[in-house]
Amino acid sequence: MKSPLNILYLEDNIHDAELVTSMLEDEGFACLVTRVETEEAFLDALRTQTFDLIISDFSLPSFDGKSALYHARQIAPEIPFVFVSGTIGEDAAIESLLNGASDYVLKQKLTRLIPAVRRVLREAQTRREREVAEQRLRESESRYRKIFEATGTAMALVESDEIISLTNSVFQKLAGCSQKEIEGAMRFREFIHPDDLNKATALYYRLKNEGIATTHEFDFRFVGKDRVPKDVVINISRISETGTLVVSILDITKRLESEQEFRSLVESAHDAIFSLSPSGIITSLNPAFEKITGWKSHEWLGKSFTDLIHEDDFQKAVDDIRRLTAGEVLMPREIRIKRKDGAFAVGEFILAPLVRNNVLRGMFGIGRDVTERKRLEQELRQASKLESIGTLAGGIAHDFNNILGIIVGYISVLKNRQDEEHVEQALASIDTAARRGAGLVKQLLTFARKTEAKLARVHVNDVIKELIPFLQETFPKIILFTLQLDDTVKAVNVDVNQMHQVLLNLCVNARDAIPAGSGGRISVTTANADGKIVQQRFPQAGDVPYVAVTLSDTGAGMDEGTLAHLFEPFFTTKGIGQGTGLGLSVVYGVVKSCGGFIDVTSAPGKGTTFHLYLPTASEKESSGAGPVPAWKESAGGSETILFVEDEEMLRTLLRTLLEEKGYRVITAENGEDAIAIYADNFQHIDLILTDIGLPRVSGWDAFLKMREINPSARAILASGFVDNNQRAAMAKAGMTDIIQKPYAPDEVFGKIRSVLDRK
């Protein structure tokens, strides 16, 4: 249904108005007519309502059509205005048309009314549509002009005659010319460096001859009013309808200068600077790489970075790359890199991710050759140990004199007193002293990194509850212990013996810090600690749960100078012969080796507090071996064992013990004899138990010879220490059964049965 034609009708004769309305309705117009007779009513209607058409008589008693036309053109010039009158003359009609009337119809010729109305309504609609289109065009031009100006890139339109028709302010600034100087007056070629003109001209004619809109990019030197060449990148596209070229120019002079400066820095650096793809493929290398490794850069471009890495550091490097791609920030780390001559250089590497739009595009790395520095550090450490040999010897002599004094004294008791009570007491004391001696050796080896930890799930509370009663019996009675152990603390993955040693060393230090005879307190607390809290103190800590162990004393405390050297090997504040200075360095080494952290706070007269943070063990980690059966409970057997030991008394002792358990024992005192004995009797020998440190031929080399004789030979190797490299070589050869000296009979019996019973 069409909307009604809303008409404002200025007419004092109601019959004439009804006649005109009837004619319009007969022609299909639905009319809504507002008839007025006075100027006041006409103006009010015009100001308050919306009309599609104004029809007016020319002469009214109180108001005339000429004035009505004037008001209509002022208030609503877009509304068609048609005179319908019987008195309008030809001159007046023409004047009305000139003043804005759309048409006039004489009342004597009303047949013209309908065509006139249709025409003026159609013209009004066309005019409205054109105005809307023009407004949209103006808005579009304004919007695109703003874009043209705000793009930040120099923009220009170049017509088919090469004349620049439009520029933005960025182009004008780049050219050093005003808009008036450029637009319509200058050709684009005037801004091209002469040496680049042929290239630009060829591109221009190519674009001009192409029939479709295309975009091309190339670089050239732009020359403005100052005649100073500027390196730019230009994008040109052609508007196919008009042939106009749209040119955008990006000034890259500063970027190229920065790139050149950066390239010079990279090329002259003494550190290897490189980039990797997200998968670890080498994409760039600087000359320092060649000096450090001896390889030419082109020999490694396109190859995996991990192929350069020492096999023992391979997994660490792979893990680092994985963590880096996951968004972690890595601390500098040392990795051994293969040199062309077959040796390995020690590199200190820093890796950083290259991320754009939240997508990993690759990695950037710097590697510093620290091979010489590591060698010098090793020499310095060795020199430091040699300088401290007097302190070390005095401390060890003090401890071992005490141990030997106990053993010698109780042997004298055994010789002179044979009653059961004194015998048991003497044997127990000798056993305790011997274990203390073994513990001191183990402490030295731990410091020297000659022993390998046996990691297992350990509850720190259990170690503390086992240790403290012993200390309460041996420490002065005026020193009180306070325990606050959280029963909910989780297990940690440590060597239980090393954990015992850590707590023992800290407690002994606390005891020695409390002035003699004054009394004091040693407090031990445990609690679970959130990884994020630990990271606030130690940024390199992982986001995993930790167990916090805090040990405090009310002793003399330490100044800042002492704290600065606290964990250094052989550093001690005790007198000569009162300690080795290894205690806290061993504590530090054990805590670090299990991935933990240690902190200390102290001040003179304020006591000392140690904070240990140990990462909790996962449920998958081993809970350790079960308890070893007591000597008398250990199972024996009837198998034949070849026992190789160069210490005669030890060889005789262990042979006697093994034979008491039912075994047949063949002994040898060196590796050479052991090989000969095994060659003659290997069909009857079920197991080889050999010390590693043998004369003539080492126990390990002897075992390898025996393995050549009998590939299925089974053996247990014993040693006071096995370094990590030797242990790795043994594991690679399939040897995993190693027992620590000094021998504990129950441990020897258990290990023998474990190996013999293995299928």
Mean pLDDT of 317-343: 78
Q: 601 in a domain, yes or no?
A: yes
Q: Domain ends where: 324, 351, 375?
A: 375
Predicted confidence band of residue 150 (pLDDT cuts 50, 70, 90): low
156 and 90 housed in the same domain = no
CA distance 88 to 94: 10
User: Please, which residues have CB within 8 angstroms of residue 684's CB and are 6 or more apart in sequence?
Assistant: 640
pTM value? 0.37
Q: Taking a C-beta distance cutoff of 8 angstroms, is the pair 136, 120 a contact?
A: no
CA angle 373, 376, 382 (to 5 degrees): 140
Q: 718 in a domain, yes or no?
A: yes
Average pLDDT, whole number, for the chain? Answer: 78
CATH code for the domain in which residue 576 is found: 3.30.565.10
Tokens representing 97? 């048309």
Q: 110 in a domain, yes or no?
A: yes
- Taking the CB of residue 525, how many other CB atoms lie within 10 A of it? 16
Q: Domain ends where: 256, 279, 310?
A: 256
CA distance 658 to 636: 8
Mean pLDDT of 369-382: 69
55 and 94 housed in the same domain = yes
CA distance 411 to 427: 9
Q: What percent of the chain has pLDDT over 70?
A: 76
525 and 607 housed in the same domain = yes
Element holding 519 (H helix, E strand): none
SS (HEC) of 430-444? HHHHHHHHHHHHHHH
State yes or no: pLDDT of 711 exceeds 70: yes
304 Cα distance to chain centroid: 21
Higher pLDDT residue, 451 or 664?
664
DSSP assigned state of 99: T
DSSP assigned state of 163: B
Predicted confidence band of residue 598 (pLDDT cuts 50, 70, 90): confident
363 and 492 housed in the same domain = no
First to last CA, the chain: 100
CA distance 627 to 634: 12
Tokens representing 60? 């009214």
Higher pLDDT residue, 744 or 377?
744
Highest mean pLDDT among 94-103, 193-202, 265-274, 682-691: 682-691
Mean pLDDT of 655-662: 87
State yes or no: pLDDT of 450 exceeds 60: no
Predicted confidence band of residue 361 (pLDDT cuts 50, 70, 90): confident
Mean pLDDT of 644-672: 87
- Taking the CB of residue 509, how many other CB atoms lie within 10 A of it? 22
State yes or no: pLDDT of 482 exceeds 80: yes
484 and 464 housed in the same domain = yes
DSSP assigned state of 329: P
**What pLDDT does 622 receive?**
45
User: Please, which residues have CB within 8 angstroms of residue 142's CB and are 6 or more apart in sequence?
Assistant: none
440 and 562 housed in the same domain = no
CA distance 526 to 613: 10
Mean pLDDT of 15-24: 86
State yes or no: pLDDT of 525 exceeds 90: yes
Question: Cα dist. 86→12, 16, 104, 108, 478 in Å?
Answer: 13, 11, 10, 7, 134
CA distance 515 to 259: 66
**Of 488-492, 515-519, 640-644, which gets the smallest average pLDDT?**
515-519
87 and 179 housed in the same domain = no
Q: 661 in a domain, yes or no?
A: yes
Tokens representing 153? 């890139």
Per residue in 110-145, pLDDT (tens digit) is 888 888 888 888 888 888 888 877 777 666 666 666
CA distance 707 to 668: 17
Higher pLDDT residue, 34 or 543?
34
CA distance 38 to 12: 8
CA distance 47 to 52: 14
CA atoms within 13 A on the CB side of 502: 30
Tokens 């005649």 — which residue?
227
CA distance 414 to 233: 99
- Taking the CB of residue 558, how many other CB atoms lie within 10 A of it? 21
Tokens 């030979």 — which residue?
713
**What pLDDT does 723 receive?**
62
State yes or no: pLDDT of 757 exceeds 50: yes
Tokens 């102290």 — which residue?
602
- Print the domain residue range for 48: 5-129
CA distance 569 to 729: 29
State yes or no: pLDDT of 625 exceeds 50: no
The total domain count for the chain is: 6
**What pLDDT does 451 receive?**
47
- DSSP state string for 259-321: HHHHHHHHHH-SSEEEEE-TTSBEEEE-HHHHHHH---GGGTTTSBGGGGB-GGGHHHHHHHH
Question: Cα dist. 394→501, 533, 562, 577 in Å?
Answer: 21, 42, 21, 4
**Of 82-86, 543-547, 565-569, which gets the smallest average pLDDT?**
565-569
**What pLDDT does 130 receive?**
83
Q: Domain ends where: 98, 129, 160?
A: 129
**What pLDDT does 549 receive?**
93
Q: 623 in a domain, yes or no?
A: no
**What pLDDT does 395 receive?**
47
Q: 143 in a domain, yes or no?
A: no
611 and 645 housed in the same domain = no
CA distance 588 to 565: 12
Closest CA to 157 of 194, 186, 177, 199: 186
Mean pLDDT of 227-231: 84
Question: What value does the CA radius of gyration of the chain take, rounded to a whole number of Å?
Answer: 50
Q: 72 in a domain, yes or no?
A: yes
Predicted confidence band of residue 592 (pLDDT cuts 50, 70, 90): confident
Highest mean pLDDT among 182-191, 389-398, 562-571: 182-191
| Residue 52, φ and ψ in degrees, nearest 5 | -95, -20
Instruction: Note the residue count of the chain.
Output: 759
Predicted confidence band of residue 580 (pLDDT cuts 50, 70, 90): very low
439 and 457 housed in the same domain = no
**What pLDDT does 399 receive?**
57
**What pLDDT does 550 receive?**
92
Outline where DSSP puts E strands in 180-241.
215-223, 229-238
Predicted confidence band of residue 633 (pLDDT cuts 50, 70, 90): low
CA distance 543 to 533: 9
**What pLDDT does 344 receive?**
86
Mean pLDDT of 222-229: 85
Higher pLDDT residue, 146 or 422?
146
458 and 592 housed in the same domain = yes
Closest CA to 444 of 587, 586, 629: 586
Outline where DSSP puts E strands in 224-279.
229-238, 245-251, 272-276
547 and 472 housed in the same domain = yes
Closest CA to 607 of 551, 552, 563, 560: 552
Mean pLDDT of 707-715: 89
**What pLDDT does 303 receive?**
85
State yes or no: pLDDT of 203 exceeds 80: no
Hey, is 232 helix, strand or coil? Answer: strand
Q: What percent of the chain has pLDDT over 90?
A: 5
Predicted confidence band of residue 624 (pLDDT cuts 50, 70, 90): very low
Q: Taking a C-beta distance cutoff of 8 angstroms, is the pair 407, 430 a contact?
A: yes
186 and 102 housed in the same domain = no
Within the chain, what is the greatest distance between any pair of CA atoms? 163
Q: 137 in a domain, yes or no?
A: no
Burial 103-116, CB ≥16 within 10 A → b, else e: bbbbbeeeeebbeb
CA distance 195 to 203: 15
Per residue in 402-443, pLDDT (tens digit) is 566 566 655 655 665 666 666 666 666 666 666 666 665 655
State yes or no: pLDDT of 577 exceeds 50: no
Tokens representing 397? 């002599």
**What pLDDT does 544 receive?**
84
